[in-house]
Amino acid sequence: MHSKDQISHDAYQQTADWLLSQTKLRPQVAIICGSGLGMLADALKCQEVFPYSDIPGFPQSTVHGHAGRLVFGELKGKTCVCMQGRFHMYEGHSLCKTTFPVRVFKLLGVETVIVTNAAGSLADSFHAGDIMIIKDHVNFPGLSGLSPLSGANDDKFGPRFPPMSSVYDRELRRLVLDIAKQMGVAHFLHEGVYAMVGGPNFETVAEARLLHRLGVDAVGMSTAPEVLVASHCGLRVFGLSLITNKVVKSYDDSQSVKHDSVLEVAALRSHTLLQLISELVSRMDENNNTHT
């Protein structure tokens, strides 16, 4: 990432102003839908839909399972905006572009960002169809110097050196654990560490073993840059990973993961994910004064 890839504050503001001029809805919550999880946006009431191609400055999503629409509407009495499809570094976007919507959300008045993704399991106790509350992440592109915050800092959004030690809101994580118990689904809900790798290939056995030794529970190709920018903007963050496959950690294992199977697992768990996130949004006011 070089400074020439940076996007001006005016560019974010122009996109936000265009959206504000097109809808009277003022979202409090933004939901970023991972692969196959676009049904979260379909659940919104009183929808107003904007294809990414119509929104000034928005990148285009090219991955199967990402519809490429920004959906405004109401969920459990709260106004939300959903990204039905996100942007990835492996599509050729700069990290400034992959995270572009997050800063726009900030300018729209969003206070909380919920990120979801489909991820492969490295933890031996996790299985396909399980759901992982993200308690922390390892951002491998960030560790190698690829960051959406590279270049001159925009002080209008946040500080030069944002802390990341408690980026995933502790109170929201506790709330979802309580909701899962009440729903009777706590047996397949876990907390864990997510790692972002560059992709678009799935991991080699050696890479999977390395990640496992580092304490990573699930691995995917997104989320960390968006979370970094959301935290930099002062937004509250909650994250969920849907475990869609076991990552191969043995040379004797003949299994391999395919993107279509990822989408199939996402479809099977869609109702449970929708219930969890709907209840979280409904009860979020209980945590309005907490940002930990």
Cis peptide before 200 (omega within 30 of 0): yes
124-152 confidence digits (pLDDT tens): 999 999 999 999 999 999 999 999 999 99
What percent of the chain is modeled with pLDDT above 70?
93
Q: Which of the residues 52, 61, 88, 203 is marked catalytic?
A: 88
> Does residue 49 belong to any structural domain of this protein?
yes
pLDDT at position 6 is: 87
Query: What is the pLDDT confidence band of residue 10, given thresholds at 50, 70 and 90?
Result: very high
Tell me the CATH number at 200: 3.40.50.1580
Q: Which of the residues 67, 259, 278, 291 is marked catalytic?
A: 259
Q: Which of the residues 41, 83, 91, 147 is marked catalytic?
A: 91
What is the distance, to the nearest Å, from the Cα of residue 4 to the centroid of all Cα atoms in its chain? 26
> Does residue 60 belong to any structural domain of this protein?
yes
> Does residue 271 belong to any structural domain of this protein?
yes
226-248 confidence digits (pLDDT tens): 999 999 999 999 999 999 889 99
> Does residue 159 belong to any structural domain of this protein?
no
Task: Tell the residue number behind the tokens 């504000």, with chain if given.
Answer: 20
Cβ atoms within 10 Å of 257's Cβ, excluding its own: 16
Query: Judging by beta carbons within 10 Å of its beta carbon (0-12, 13-18, 19+), is residue 250 exposed, middle or buried?
Result: exposed
Start-end of H helices in the chain: 9-22, 39-42, 95-98, 100-108, 140-143, 170-183, 205-213, 224-232, 259-268, 270-282
> How high is the mean pLDDT of the chain?
91
Spatial separation of the C-alpha atoms in residues 100 and 52, rounded to whole Å = 12
Spatial separation of the C-alpha atoms in residues 262 and 199, rounded to whole Å = 15
Q: Is 221 designated active site?
A: yes
Q: Which of the residues 245, 266, 284, 287 is marked catalytic?
A: 245
155-205 confidence digits (pLDDT tens): 999 999 999 999 999 999 999 999 999 999 999 999 999 999 999 999 999
> Does residue 166 belong to any structural domain of this protein?
no
**Closest to 171 measured CA to CA, from 78, 236, 81, 242:** 236
Sign of the torsion formed by the C-alpha atoms of 69, 269, 200 and 150:
positive
pTM of the model: 0.92
Q: Is 251 designated active site?
A: no
How does 41-57 read in b/e, with b if 16+ C-beta sit within 10 Å? bebbeeeebbebeebeb
Contact indicator for 106, 77 with CB cutoff of 8 Å: no
> Does residue 6 belong to any structural domain of this protein?
no
Q: Which of the residues 90, 150, 278, 282 is marked catalytic?
A: 90
Q: Is 286 designated active site?
A: no
Q: Which of the residues 30, 41, 43, 66 is marked catalytic?
A: 66
Q: Which of the residues 117, 139, 147, 222 is marked catalytic?
A: 222
Q: Is 212 designated active site?
A: no
Query: Judging by beta carbons within 10 Å of its beta carbon (0-12, 13-18, 19+), is residue 74 exposed, middle or buried?
Result: middle
How many domains is the chain built from? 1
Contact indicator for 138, 214 with CB cutoff of 8 Å: yes
| DSSP state string for 176-221 | HHHHHHHHT-GGGEEEEEEEE---SSPPPHHHHHHHHHTT--EEES
Q: Is 66 designated active site?
A: yes
Q: Is 259 designated active site?
A: yes
**Closest to 192 measured CA to CA, from 251, 132, 145, 264:** 132
Query: Which strand (E) or helix (H) includes residue 78?
Result: strand 78-84
Q: Is 222 designated active site?
A: yes
Reduced to 3 states, what is the DSSP secondary structure of residue 53?
A: helix
Q: Which of the residues 119, 221, 224, 284 is marked catalytic?
A: 221
Reduced to 3 states, what is the DSSP secondary structure of residue 268?
A: helix
> Does residue 7 belong to any structural domain of this protein?
no
> Is the model's pLDDT at 2 over the cut of 60?
no
Residue 109 structural domain: 26-142+172-243+254-284
Contact indicator for 17, 162 with CB cutoff of 8 Å: no
> Does residue 5 belong to any structural domain of this protein?
no
Query: Judging by beta carbons within 10 Å of its beta carbon (0-12, 13-18, 19+), is residue 154 exposed, middle or buried?
Result: middle
pLDDT at position 287 is: 47
Spatial separation of the C-alpha atoms in residues 63 and 67, rounded to whole Å = 8
